[in-house]
Structure 1
């Protein structure tokens, strides 16, 4: 039996401890939330009361694991990155804990403007946690963007662009409180609670929404660009991993510079997608009901991204032909492309 799985497990246990403890707590909350969805039929503003903790648990578990893997890679400024990751882990644990506590109480964790002392204290702590997570991500992005991180240029480009997208996603989250209007919500017990804002645009919160995400299907919803941008980090890393896998089968992708350029193009296209869904939400348009203007913009974005990718591959193909000798295969850089992707977990 191969020892690789055991080595992988050993390395994972050595990842950033506070982040992995936070991830473990999110997985525990995921189990509790799933049980709550089955056993607790209370509804808050049109959604099952345990759905929000479940979504936060999944999102933070994925994000925390990604950060922990990234910090396992060799890089400079480890004291700074470790400290910021610890700040992120603590803030995430506290804030998602508040989301879970408020769900159990059948009341609101976001936009709650109640003057009760306990609610005011919770909101102050919650706000500090949000600011701490954003600060931690911003510092991590700055420290890591000025250096190469990862087994090759493509992975480094994916980390840099992914962190930039994630930071943008956190900033987009700040648009939500500023666009909504103050209104009153009802707890699961029917008690009125003053709310400072909402996430829907053009319609009240609590209307018909998509399954699981509950994104509005009757108006705009600023949770869409917030989510899309925040998890651009994972999207860029998955793309880098896919390109490394394809490089073993397609010689044109064996040059890490070509893969890095493709990731750069994809990141620009992804940023365009974030801008598109933000624009769509502010126009009070549901994600599921784009008008012709939105569809036209999406088609233009897809076309430009495809053309740019084609241009990158055309340059790579010409470069490969330039170094090919008669009777010899093209040499496109490192033939072991992607072999270092698991350095952070298997060495």
Structure 2
């Protein structure tokens, strides 16, 4: 499907965010300021790239719809406007040299954070509406269907995990701080973190499951592509039943990993310093995932027929 038919407001937003990401990358070179331990423009880069991925994904998906298309179009437009507001505020606060999230230090900062928080809720609600519309627009292939639907569902869960960062911490309440809310659990924001991402290496960080969850909408469909390409060499993945079962297994594993990452962060534990409990949970997931994959392949013996979609076939919805 030509990109000209993709959702135009979201594609315009994606183009603007791509330009902003390039600009912000350049700004990190010439602007030596730091904020919460990172180059001050790093946050703009991360958010702009995330919005590019979100916008292109949904612009493509909405273009496939034959049912509820008008509702999905408006939901996408509302989401584009909300994301535009959010990134505008982030840039304004970077220029002003202060944080955009959880900032109640002045009346202006409070208004900007409240506005941004409202825009985030609006974007999430609009995405829910578009996701409901998606359920009424199946693709011709069951594995692709499962990947898109489960990926979008998990991305909504991942986005919702961001709301866990909004309540003030106990330390903030006790001190009467004008910063209310935090990414980090167990420590104040701004401590040692991973390069570029900034995820805490000393405490729990809710940005980890938030990020991993949001991008399930891209990773599960990519898995389908890999399975379809592998069918040229691996006979098991030539079956639509096998590919569908593997996608559902991957979604279950993804859900379990997301739960463990959230549990780990809420316990104040860095993602790069797992304790015995976290490693045990990860081990259980690995064993269960391996057993499930083996069971899928064994349960669906091949008869030599290929049911992999043609390489020329696009993800068109049934009409």
- Deviation, structure 1 residue 126: 0.8
Separation of aligned partners in 1, 2:105 and 2:121: 21
Structure number, greater radius of gyration: 1
Indicate if the aligned counterparts of 1:253 and 1:259 stay in contact, CA closer than 8 A.
yes
Paired residue for 1:296?
280
- Deviation, structure 1 residue 224: 0.5
> Would the alpha carbon gap of residues 247 and 169 (structure 1) be closer, same or farther in structure 2, given more than 3 Å must change?
same
Separation of aligned partners in 1, 2:315 and 2:153: 23
Deviation track 1:159-189 (CA, whole Å, cap 9, x = no partner) reads 10011011101111001112634649xxxxx
- The reply to whether residue 177 of structure 1 matches residue 151 of structure 2 is no
Separation of aligned partners in 2, 1:17 and 1:248: 36
Separation of aligned partners in 2, 1:227 and 1:183: 25
- SS of structure 2 residue aligned to 1:196: coil
Match of 1:140 among 130, 150, 155: 130
Paired residue for 2:36?
45
Q: How does 1:152-163 map to 2 (within 5 A)?
A: 152-163=141-152
TM-score, normalised by the number of residues in structure 2: 0.93
- The reply to whether residue 266 of structure 1 matches residue 250 of structure 2 is yes
- Deviation, structure 1 residue 146: 4.3
Paired residue for 1:87?
78
Separation of aligned partners in 1, 2:17 and 2:178: 29
Paired residue for 1:202?
186
- Deviation, structure 1 residue 258: 1.6
Match of 2:93 among 95, 99, 102: 102
- The reply to whether residue 331 of structure 1 matches residue 308 of structure 2 is no
Q: How does 1:6-85 map to 2 (within 5 A)?
A: 11-85=2-76
- Deviation, structure 1 residue 133: 0.7
Separation of aligned partners in 1, 2:42 and 2:70: 36
Deviation track 1:187-206 (CA, whole Å, cap 9, x = no partner) reads xxxxxx82112111111111
Separation of aligned partners in 1, 2:119 and 2:243: 37
TM-score, normalised by the number of residues in structure 1: 0.86
- Deviation, structure 1 residue 31: 1.4
Separation of aligned partners in 1, 2:201 and 2:48: 24
- SS of structure 2 residue aligned to 1:13: helix
- Deviation, structure 1 residue 260: 1.2
- Structure 1 moving runs of 4+ over 4 Å: 181-184
Deviation track 1:233-291 (CA, whole Å, cap 9, x = no partner) reads 11111101111111233222122222111101100100000000001111111001111
Deviation track 1:72-114 (CA, whole Å, cap 9, x = no partner) reads 2244110111111111111111101111111111111100113
Indicate if the aligned counterparts of 2:67 and 2:136 stay in contact, CA closer than 8 A.
no
Indicate if the aligned counterparts of 2:151 and 2:217 stay in contact, CA closer than 8 A.
yes
- SS of structure 2 residue aligned to 1:72: helix
- SS of structure 2 residue aligned to 1:138: helix
- Deviation, structure 1 residue 128: 1.7
